[in-house]
Amino acid sequence: MLKIIPLGGLGEIGLNMMVVEYEETIFIIDAGLMFPEDYMLGVDIVIPDMEYLRENRDKVKAIILTHAHEDHIGAITYLLREISVPVYATAFTLRLVKNKLQEFDLHNNALLKQVSPGESITIGHFSIEFIRVSHSTVDGVALAIQTPVGLIIHTGDFKINHCFEESNITDISRFARLGEEGVLALLSDSTNVEREGYTDSDQKVGEALATVVSESDGRVIVALFASNIFRIQQIINIAINTRRKVVFNGRSIEQTVVAARELGYITYPDSLIIDVKKVNSFQDSEVLIITTGSQGEPMSALARMATGFHKQVNIRKGDSVILSSKSIPGNEKAISNIINNLYRRGARVVYDKIAPVHVSGHACQEELKLMISLTRPKYFIPIHGEYRHLVTHARLAEKLGIPRKNVILAEDGNVVSFEKGHPETEQVDTIVDKPGNKCKFLNKNRDLNNKIDKKDNKVVSKVEQIEKIVDEIVVGKISGSVNSGRILIDGKGIGDVGRSVLKERRNLSEDGLVVVSMIIDEETGIVLYGPELISKGFVFGAETGYLVDDAQCVILEIVEEIEVGAESRVDQIRSRLQKALKQYFFFTIRRRPVIVPIIIEV
């Protein structure tokens, strides 16, 4: 039985990780992260739950990365801490992975293996071919996985474009040839399935960027994703044509450009680049800054420029700021705040709602249809997207002729299995009365029925043919589930922030904190000090001063009610005090602050 198990990426944007398993061999496709949602207060990043991989670590033989985006490689360091296996990736992806491993001091132990589009590798029972696909970063690949039960295609993130850069074109001819050979299942990117038509061309973006830069008399500041190498090269070319110097600002931009230049994906003369510290030595019309911060990150270079806290570059009147990226879901408010701050400082701001300065790296509906038509899979599994994206993509596949029973709508943790020779829903009966009689073939599967020549009286031969046909059938279905979920990374803590901690943080953020402190005489039970109430985020103002007096009375009544010498008297006081104060504050002002009692016996 072949098993495909998504541990992340099916039901959310990001967190992409998929397990492919056959007998004693497992390999992992991608190890991505996602950024925290609004309710995950204080959380830095989110990674997939890797419990299933820990339980089956002896079976895991390799990790394969499709491209260099954080939602596909961001959890690699955490995965390699758990399981030490070879990592296969293309040159640019591998270079960024090396940078990550160095930060976590894992680079000496990791076995990194570079592959190229068109190349194939063998991992246990699997033969895996890497197919070039176009995306919003370079060196992206899809996977054609030859398994013991059939060919599986995993598209990775892709779009089908017409680009003059050969290294950035999806190899549709290879997908077509694989479709002719026969594809058991297609796992296809669903991120942009709600958008009709085709993805706009990168050339159109280049023209829009060139127009904005040529019309600007002051400094031009372009914020984008550091991994968008093709876009960075476009901007460099525009800077050369408009006789501007280029500044790379932001650690991720600087690291990525160095890696891409060494690999030949970015080219420019050394004289073009100036250090950010020297930016004020040039005329505003001579400067173009490529920076991070397109998602409104509070500590990013662009955010510091917009708030006046950047050491070298502060936004001023006459500057043109271009946000050349798509907003990640959940970042809309932060991006809006950045834009407002930029306008307040007198900048001209250009973003995708004003001009076509960004194009998606994900296929729209017509491209997704083309991928299905080229590969002609028996089974279809939508991947990469929220549940609504998966459902929409599934319906799209049905419209293209894939039977509904062959469209598998899976979510994180589901086990999608493909098994040969066991068609549970397609019963085969062969009735042989006497030698020479015709074989009666009763089957719900018309394909099998059509393959039987009923004029042939060689019954035994026909039975053998039927058995052979049945053995060639591969049935795909969701056959169970495994543990999956999200692990929250908070500082150096991995998974130590759970629902209860998030609930406490939410309560603190909404209702504040009240600390009650007092000292009690152990022998007499008399309160020697306090009760004193200190609040944070729950203000006892002059107009509500009575609250403190009344709350103290509530506390003293509880102390008097519990007899001196009672077992665990302090614990009883603490427990009843928390409950009583919560009820009191809710009754008086409809708020439920977190109550922290500090009671000392002397």
Per-residue pLDDT at 200: 87
Per-residue pLDDT at 489: 82
pLDDT of residue 445 exceeding 70, the answer is no
Helices (H), 400-498: 446-450, 459-472
Per-residue pLDDT at 478: 94
Angle at 441 (CA atoms; ends 440, 446), nearest 5 degrees:
145
Q: Categorize the per-residue pLDDT at 330 as very low, low, confident or very high, splitting at 50, 70 and 90.
A: low
Mean pLDDT of 518-544: 79
More confident residue, 449 or 300: 300
Mean pLDDT of 228-244: 95
Backbone angles phi, psi at 113, to 5 degrees: -125, 120
Per-residue pLDDT at 421: 66
- β 25-29/474-481 pair status: unpaired
- β 440-442/429-431 pair status: antiparallel
pLDDT of residue 394 exceeding 80, the answer is yes
Q: Kindly list the catalytic residues.
A: 189, 362
Per-residue pLDDT at 328: 73
Q: Categorize the per-residue pLDDT at 230 as very low, low, confident or very high, splitting at 50, 70 and 90.
A: very high
Per-residue pLDDT at 107: 76
Specify the range with the lowest mean pLDDT, choosing from 94-108, 209-223, 428-442, 578-592.
428-442
**Please, what are the domains in the chain?**
2-197+361-420+479-487 (3.60.15.10), 202-350 (3.40.50.10710), 429-471 (no CATH), 512-601 (3.10.20.580)
Per-residue pLDDT at 448: 43
Per-residue pLDDT at 495: 60
Question: Letter for the amino acid at 550?
Answer: D
Specify the range with the lowest mean pLDDT, choosing from 82-86, 200-204, 246-250, 468-472.
468-472
pLDDT of residue 329 exceeding 60, the answer is yes
Per-residue tokens: 139: 């060196």
Instruction: To the nearest 10°, report the CA torsion of 74, 76, 77, 80.
Output: 170
Closest to 124 (Cα-Cα) out of 148, 141, 143: 148
Specify the range with the lowest mean pLDDT, choosing from 126-130, 162-166, 245-249.
162-166
pLDDT of residue 268 exceeding 70, the answer is yes
Report yes or no: 155 and 7 within 8 Å, Cβ to Cβ.
no
CA–CA separation, 100 and 104 (whole Å): 7
List all residues 6 or more positions away from 140 whose beta carbon is below 8 Å from its beta carbon: 66, 67, 90, 132, 133, 134, 156, 157, 158
pLDDT of residue 439 exceeding 60, the answer is no
Q: Categorize the per-residue pLDDT at 128 as very low, low, confident or very high, splitting at 50, 70 and 90.
A: very high
Q: Enter the pTM of the model.
A: 0.81
Give residue-wise pLDDT tens across range 558-580: 888 888 878 888 888 888 998 89
Mean pLDDT for the chain overall: 86
CA–CA separation, 45 and 232 (whole Å): 26
